[in-house]
Amino acid sequence: MSACYWIKRRQAQEGSVKEMGRVLPILFNTDMVRAVLDGRKTVTRRAVRYKYNNTEMKMRTDKYGTRLIEIQKAIEGETHGKNPDGSTWHKLLPYIEKNPPYRKGDILYVRETFRPLSDHPAAGIEYAADWSSKYFENSKEPDCCNRGKWIPSIHMPKQAARIWLKVTDVRAERLQDIDTLGCQREGIDITGNGVIKRFSTLWDSTLKKKDLALYGWEVNPWVWVIGFERCEKPEEG
């Protein structure tokens, strides 16, 4: 690809080329929805997912800028080795550039656990985050008022969303680079000791068991750090 292509791509990613923000969904669990509503959460971290096996994440800097890539791991005898004269041969390792799920300027609607107030289509919606944790746990089944079962956040349609966010910043870093201020912006209570531990426990709790080996706290994976602010629902175009 030409240098012109890469320059234009980098300009677009850095905001030099103005693009209309996309409207995309983002999922939060009920506790984090409460933190967003309270103004305590203004950042979220999402694991940079591997696309292939036998690869690793690296930051690469060249004349086109610095970017996160997924590159094939070096394997003795397959990607490098010794020639008969003692010199070393190397095969060019294939890689792909990693792109964040969101970019600056995107508008996000928060998917959260919800349920209809009744079977009537005009009855309205209630949200699990508006219930205390105790009452939410005791209200998972339909009640005498014909409320339906709680619907998982993944199934929330855009029309039911009440929280809208605008992405203000996106960057890549290692998970364990987070500090106390970063934990606070994630909505973590920073009073007392063990702040990082509280965040690491929360992080691992959001992962499936099979994903802990790749993206758990102890692995220190690369993550997208996504900053946001509350905004109004955009007008339908």
Three-state secondary-structure class, residue 119: coil
Q: Any idea what the CATH number is for the domain that residue 218 is in?
A: 3.10.400.10
- Classify residue 143: in a domain, yes or no: no
pTM: 0.79
* Alpha carbon distance 62, 56 (integer Å): 18
The helix (run of H) or strand (run of E) holding residue 8 is: helix 3-14
The 10s digit of each residue's pLDDT in 168-208 is: 999 999 999 999 999 999 999 999 999 999 999 999 999 99
What's the pLDDT band for 84 if we cut at 50, 70, 90? confident
- Classify residue 213: in a domain, yes or no: yes
Mean pLDDT of 80-105: 81
The proportion of the chain whose per-residue pLDDT surpasses 90, expressed as a percent, equals 63
The whole-number pLDDT of residue 151 equals 93
- Classify residue 193: in a domain, yes or no: yes
- From 127, 129, 187, 153, select the one nearest 25 (Cα to Cα): 153
The 10s digit of each residue's pLDDT in 93-152 is: 788 899 999 999 999 999 999 998 876 555 688 999 998 654 555 555 545 455 678 999
* Alpha carbon distance 205, 79 (integer Å): 37
- Classify residue 209: in a domain, yes or no: yes
The whole-number pLDDT of residue 90 equals 64
Mean pLDDT of 145-170: 90
- Classify residue 29: in a domain, yes or no: yes
β-strand 23-27 against 107-111: which pairing, if any?
A: parallel
Domain range spanning residue 210?
21-57+103-113+152-230
- Classify residue 86: in a domain, yes or no: no
| DSSP β-bridge partners for residue 226 | 44, 170
Who has greater pLDDT, 32 or 95?
A: 32
Which amino acid would we find at residue 220? N
- Classify residue 160: in a domain, yes or no: yes
Number of domains in the chain: 1
- Classify residue 141: in a domain, yes or no: no
